[in-house]
Amino acid sequence: MNIPHGMWELLDLFIRLFVNRLCLMNYKVDPFHKTLKLRGQISRKAHYFRLACMWCVTLHTLYCFGISARKLSTRELLESRNDDETRAIVRTYIQILVAFLPAAFLAMDYVLFCTPSVVPEILNGITLFQHETKELSKSKTDHRQKYVIAETCMVLMLWIPLIIPLVVTPIVVVLGVDPLFDVFPTYHEFSFATNIAFILTRYGILMIIAPPVTVAINAFFIVGLMLAANVFQLSTQLLSKRRNLVRMTKIERKVWKSLKPVSIQVATFGVVTRSLKPLAIKYIMENTMNLLLTF
């Protein structure tokens, strides 16, 4: 059992994009030996830039939570009589999104920027784990084709976030639907120089926040995909091996083949069910509908 080589190439592309261009991390990946190493100490400027990005993301997330909570509690979306109601509604949705999205990956930001030695320990442990389970995972099945779609999506996910902030952020700022509009508003009553200064301030803060959030999201999905692939292959081969050692009826064998190794849930008295995934989807849909109905 081996993690597909394409996933290590994805990790290598991710490191090259965000190390060579943004200087946000100091990792080096070896796709051939399937290892991740630290390249040493980063420069002082890069260190201070990473700290500034972390603080900006944290403060901006707290601000979005605070302003969203105030608007939802008072049910007053307009900050001024000069504000447009449609823009205020769209801005509130964006503030809620920008509040929850960075917060969901804030722990990954902390691991990457404050404790960078943790990530190599996790990924390099996969290779050691594969050697330990070599006898269990002997299989002639080629699993690389199973991850072609996932790898293609991850390649797009790596390149698109580098382009979207450069295109979407100016449009959002000019339209006045960015989260910081409530702090730095631009109205016709203000002078031209004041409006330009506020627009540039909002644009600059958003461009500082975008790189660390993008890095955390991509790192979370790449590392998670590699771990999931490792668990999936091992679980598949373990179930296959145990299934062949036990005599089963035709119906029992069909039930085992219909189960997904990663989403199996053991119910009462050892009964294996598939209720975990529908239950998770149910809770996500219900919470999303409740959030939309509040408006």
pLDDT tier at 5 (50, 70, 90 boundaries)? low
Average pLDDT, the chain: 74
Note the pLDDT tens digit of each residue in 201-210: 888 888 888 8
The contacts of residue 25 (CB under 8 Å, 6+ apart) are 15, 18, 19, 112, 113, 116, 215
Note the pLDDT tens digit of each residue in 191-201: 888 888 888 88
Task: Show the CA angle centred on residue 223, arms to residues 217 and 229, nearest 5°.
Answer: 130
pLDDT tier at 183 (50, 70, 90 boundaries)? confident
Report the pLDDT value the prediction gives residue 267, as an integer from 0 to 100. 44
Report the pLDDT value the prediction gives residue 258, as an integer from 0 to 100. 61
Between 245 and 105, the higher pLDDT residue = 105
CA–CA separation, 285 and 83 (whole Å) = 32
Domain extent listing, the chain:
5-248, 263-295
Asked whether residue 243 carries a pLDDT value surpassing 80, the answer given is no
Which region among 74-83, 212-221, 274-283 has the lowest average model confidence (pLDDT)?
274-283
Asked whether residue 115 carries a pLDDT value surpassing 70, the answer given is yes
Q: Model pTM?
A: 0.68
Percent of the chain with pLDDT over 70: 63
Note the pLDDT tens digit of each residue in 145-176: 566 776 777 777 778 777 888 888 888 888 88
Report the pLDDT value the prediction gives residue 20, as an integer from 0 to 100. 61
